[in-house]
Amino acid sequence: MTRSVRLILLASLALNLALGASLAWLVFQPGRAALETRQRETPTMFRPEALRRALPKERSEVVDAVLARHRDAMHTRIRAQSQARDGVREALRAEPFVRSQLEDAFARLRDAEGHTAEEAHALLVDLASRATPEERERLSRIMKNRHGSRERHRSDH
């Protein structure tokens, strides 16, 4: 076996080991699955930790007061949204499959998502009305678009 072939095989082995280690690290990160589940089930706009980080620590009582004011309504709406998702899953699994049941389940999910968004918006309006201009600027930076990436303000529209 020539020296160049040995080097190529060695490099290939090293790359395969690196790839395997990377995949193992991604799969076995502690707490990752729980975090991803929470992120999927919690509407993007309603992350208390992000709202708390947007205001200075000495103003945390403002965030806490707004969260307390909206907590029960938000939890109710999130529960309804979760139940509506369960309904979609049940309609998908149903045998025999009935298209109209799935369509109805999706309609209930859209309705529940709309109510959840309304409450999240009310919470944000409440918080913004108590925030300083600098704090509102920080709040604006945590708003994300539908796909989870930060909004890009472009002047070329």
CA distance 39 to 51: 15
In a domain, 4, yes or no: no
CA distance 142 to 149: 10
Contact 146, 73 (CB under 8 A): no
- pLDDT higher than threshold 70 for residue 133: yes
- For residue 136, the SS3 value is helix
The domain tally of the chain equals 1
DSSP string for 19-55: HHHHHHHHHT-TTHHHHHHHHHHS-TT--HHHHHHHS
Total Cβ atoms within 10 A of residue 102: 16
In a domain, 107, yes or no: yes
- pLDDT higher than threshold 50 for residue 106: yes
- CA neighbor of 81 nearest in space, from 123, 133, 35, 44: 44
Q: What is the mean pLDDT of residues 132-155?
A: 68
In a domain, 35, yes or no: no
* Residue 100: pLDDT band with limits 50, 70, 90: very high
Prediction pTM value: 0.61
Contact 105, 90 (CB under 8 A): yes
- For residue 15, the SS3 value is helix
108's enclosing H/E stretch is helix 99-130
Domain of 134? 52-142
In a domain, 152, yes or no: no
Encode pLDDT of 4-56 as tens digits: 778 787 777 777 777 777 777 766 765 555 555 444 444 445 678 888 888 89
Q: Each residue of 63-96: b (16+ CB within 10 Å) or e? A: beebbeebeeebeebbebbeebbebbeebeeeee
- The pLDDT of residue 154 is 42
In a domain, 148, yes or no: no
In a domain, 15, yes or no: no
In a domain, 137, yes or no: yes
Total Cβ atoms within 10 A of residue 106: 14
In a domain, 72, yes or no: yes
- Work out the mean pLDDT of the chain and round it to a whole number: 81
- The pLDDT of residue 113 is 94
